[in-house]
Structure 1
Amino acid sequence: MLFKKASQKHNTNSRLLLGALAGVSLTCGTAHAQSGVTLYGIADVGIEHINNTSAGGAQTREVSGNLSGSRWGLKGVEDLGGGMKAIFQLENGFNINDGTSAQSTKGLGANAATTSRLFGRQAWVGLAYKGQQLTFGRQNALLYEQAVAFDPMGASSRYSVLSLDYAMAARIDNSAKYTGIFGPLTAQAMYSTRYDTGYGSEVPGAEITGRFFSGALTFAQGPFAASVSYEQRNSNSVATNTDTERRATAAASYQIGPVKGFAGYRYLRASNAFLPANPIVVANGSEASAANLYWAGAQYVATPAFVLTATAYYQDVHSTSADPWLAVLCADYLLSKRTDVYATAGFARNKGGSALGVNGYGTVAAGYNQTGVVIGMRQKF
């Protein structure tokens, strides 16, 4: 088993997918090929208390997937010789508090679409060759991978950059994804013919319906890392398929001793008729075509077993006064390499009729502030 050091504990959402969290390893071989399959997972659950809910009043509840989405998965590799390898990954997300699937419903508001996904987090297969790989299937968006690395909270399921933009934890259906590592530089590109099949399959004669493409460049050397990315989605509706939602991001991190600092920026521009409806651009009941998101924070490794994280996020929605911000403080204590306990507190400040809650837009009564606290534990296998 390979597990993260304490200073990397919030980067599990994507790094665990690429790392070797091994529970069981099965191997077999021939004269010129070897195969390996790994079973891995995370169980994360906590007790949360929030006030000013969208339904009114306060609420105390048990919630799954706080610092990391609860999951189990299989990943495998086969050496094909000459440096070429076949690779695959299947990953299921679940709610540990009730055993239901965590990725069965997609879409937002009146445009919500429902799907049944066994492997809703990831399901892909591909080839790898000397630092480069090409994969096909349902895969993490490039913005998701960037958020995991450059959000101080690691794009955790709650109380993170994901609360301000759902796309920061997006998975893309029907996608082809290229990743190439060239020394300290990593280049990525992604294309999908229908990024969310909850709205149906590809439409003959309307090929831009539900189209998605993205690109990213990341540089990492020594204590410094930085990344830029771009993505565009076309509407899932044939009638509005020329409408788009576009994002551009830039982020950086720097390590100084036990402290690691983070900063990031995301630009969003969306057509008013874009489907699914984006709550960011209808933040106060009126439509806006653009929004800027800024964040900054730091992680402090107080001891090898104790990590403190503090971060703040600010959303500037153009042409409205609905510009909320979110502040988060998290303490994480490692009981072992596989088990940790944590406490996270967040405060969302709303104005101009915005409705940003600690768990995302629409989870608080519009125009009200919200405080949330969650105490939980996480176990990796």
Structure 2
Amino acid sequence: MSLTKARKKANPYPTFMLGTVAVASMAFASSAAHAQSSVTLYGIADVGVEYLNNTSTGGSQVREVSGNMSGSRWGLKGVEDLGGGIKAIFQLESGFNINDGTSAQSTRGLGTNPTTTTRLFGRQAWVGLSYKGQQLTFGRQQALIYEQSVTFDPMGVSSRYSALSLDYALAARIDNSAKYTGKFGPVTAQAMYSTRYDTGYGAEVPGALITGRFFSGALTYANGPIGATAVYEQRNSNTVATNTSTERRVLAAANYNFGPVTASAGYRYLRASNTFLPTNPIAVANGSQANAANLYWLGAQYLITPAFQLTAVGYYHDVHSTGADPWMAVLNADYFLSKRTDLYASVAYAHNKDNSALGVNGYGTVAPGHNQTGVTVGLRQKF
């Protein structure tokens, strides 16, 4: 066999074809290195059985309930590396009720022209860019006060028996919003603005720019065992006739970790105009014309073993110019069967006076002036 024939046998592909494949391979590798992306599917399924006494319609109740420790949900989140430290990011998150399979977070506005908003991704729906600790996102997003309450409320503003029972806005989501987050060492600075924070009241109103406006700012410090936050937010009423009416909140909270124990304390000041829409939450809660209130909480989490945790917390609502100052106490036990699955039991007691109506699941869920006890036992699975 000649040398030429031997070479052809050892290398049956033409030289120009090998070169083309090599160049294409290098181009693909270079592109992959600069534009890597990922999409993650995730979710939580949380369901339990709850007992309540002294319900708003009278008598007691036993029912199956969804989203107790964590709202049941499924979602998609993704990131694409655009090169130079810039990344494109997004998150879509849909809430659902696992006990009956219905969607959650759908709303109907009040006022003169209410609309029903059916939300496929009612928990979160946003897209944005991030760059070296800075992030700018647009869409339906968690309010800053929600993000901080999850960390500093010992119950994590869970759907049942938490600070959320005393203030709906501590787990608020904001439509039509822009959010900036910047991390500077142990300090995180955030700002948020919305042109219409609840589309259950319709779209933005031409010539009435402050109708349904929302803005907020937050500073958070985290270093070692210490964490602290301060948040301010303001909402303008959702109707043109009352759009100068506002609802304002200030939140300050801190926690400290003592090994297996994390202690937390928080304070929220609320001031709301009597004509605020959807409603003045303080007046509705206590059947009065009060327009300011202080909310305090103090509690702790104790990780007794890696698989067993106890949480205890007390909440007190001081409503100005009235004696309707309810309080609530909560005890929760959580046993982790694995990193993804846990069993839990929660007991809560709400104490009312002067015709206040704080139920363990929120205002208006108990007969006015009556106390209420709630017990929930459930299962949560994360995927």
Q: TM-score, normalised by structure 2?
A: 0.90
User: Displacement of 1:30 after TM fit?
Assistant: 3.6
**Other-structure match for 1:162:** 164
Cα RMSD, aligned residues only: 1.4
SS of residue matched to 1:312: strand
**Other-structure match for 1:16:** none
User: Displacement of 1:286 after TM fit?
Assistant: 1.6
**Other-structure match for 2:368:** 366
1:122-157 alpha-carbon deviations (Å, 9 max, x no partner): 000000000010000000000000100000001101
1:7-58 alpha-carbon deviations (Å, 9 max, x no partner): xxxxxxxxxxxxxxxxxxxxxx745201100000000000000000001100
Kindly provide the amino acid, as one letter, of the partner of residue 305 in structure 1. A
> Does the aligned pair in 2 maintain the 1:165–1:280 contact within 8 Å?
no
Kindly provide the amino acid, as one letter, of the partner of residue 226 in structure 1. A
> Does the aligned pair in 1 maintain the 2:280–2:291 contact within 8 Å?
no
TM-aligned CA distance change 1:57 to 1:108, over 3 Å:
farther
1:285-323 alpha-carbon deviations (Å, 9 max, x no partner): 221110000000000000000000000000011111111
Query: Which is higher, the Rg of structure 1 or of structure 2?
Result: 2
**Other-structure match for 1:187:** 189
Distance 1:313 1:179 in 2: 29
Q: TM-score, normalised by structure 1?
A: 0.91
> Which 4+ residue blocks in structure 1 deviate beyond 6 angstroms?
108-112
Distance 1:283 1:125 in 2: 36
TM-aligned CA distance change 1:34 to 1:54, over 3 Å:
same
Give the alignment partner of residue 100 of structure 2, picking from 98, 101, 108: 98
Structure 2: state its 5+ residue gaps: 1-30
TM-aligned CA distance change 1:107 to 1:367, over 3 Å:
farther
User: Displacement of 1:257 after TM fit?
Assistant: 1.5
Distance 2:114 2:321 in 1: 26
> Does the aligned pair in 2 maintain the 1:237–1:275 contact within 8 Å?
yes
**Other-structure match for 2:125:** 123
**Other-structure match for 1:295:** 297
> Does the aligned pair in 2 maintain the 1:254–1:262 contact within 8 Å?
yes
**Other-structure match for 1:355:** 357
**Other-structure match for 2:17:** none
User: Displacement of 1:101 after TM fit?
Assistant: 1.1
**Other-structure match for 1:32:** 34
User: Displacement of 1:112 after TM fit?
Assistant: 7.4
Q: Aligned pair 1:207/2:216, yes or no?
A: no
SS of residue matched to 1:239: helix
Kindly provide the amino acid, as one letter, of the partner of residue 70 in structure 2. S
Percent identical residues: 79
**Other-structure match for 1:42:** 44
Tell me which of the two structures has the higher relative contact order, counting C-alpha pairs closer than 8 angstroms and 6 or more residues apart.
1
> Does the aligned pair in 2 maintain the 1:43–1:96 contact within 8 Å?
yes
Distance 1:200 1:307 in 2: 44
SS of residue matched to 1:263: strand
Give the alignment partner of residue 243 of structure 1, picking from 242, 245, 252: 245
Q: How many residues align?
A: 353
Q: Aligned pair 1:274/2:266, yes or no?
A: no
> Does the aligned pair in 1 maintain the 2:96–2:102 contact within 8 Å?
yes
User: Displacement of 1:159 after TM fit?
Assistant: 0.2
Structure 1: state its 5+ residue gaps: 1-28
Kindly provide the amino acid, as one letter, of the partner of residue 205 in structure 1. G
* Aligned pairs (5 A) from 1:5-154: 30=32, 32-106=34-108, 114-154=116-156
> Does the aligned pair in 2 maintain the 1:191–1:212 contact within 8 Å?
yes
User: Displacement of 1:369 after TM fit?
Assistant: 0.1
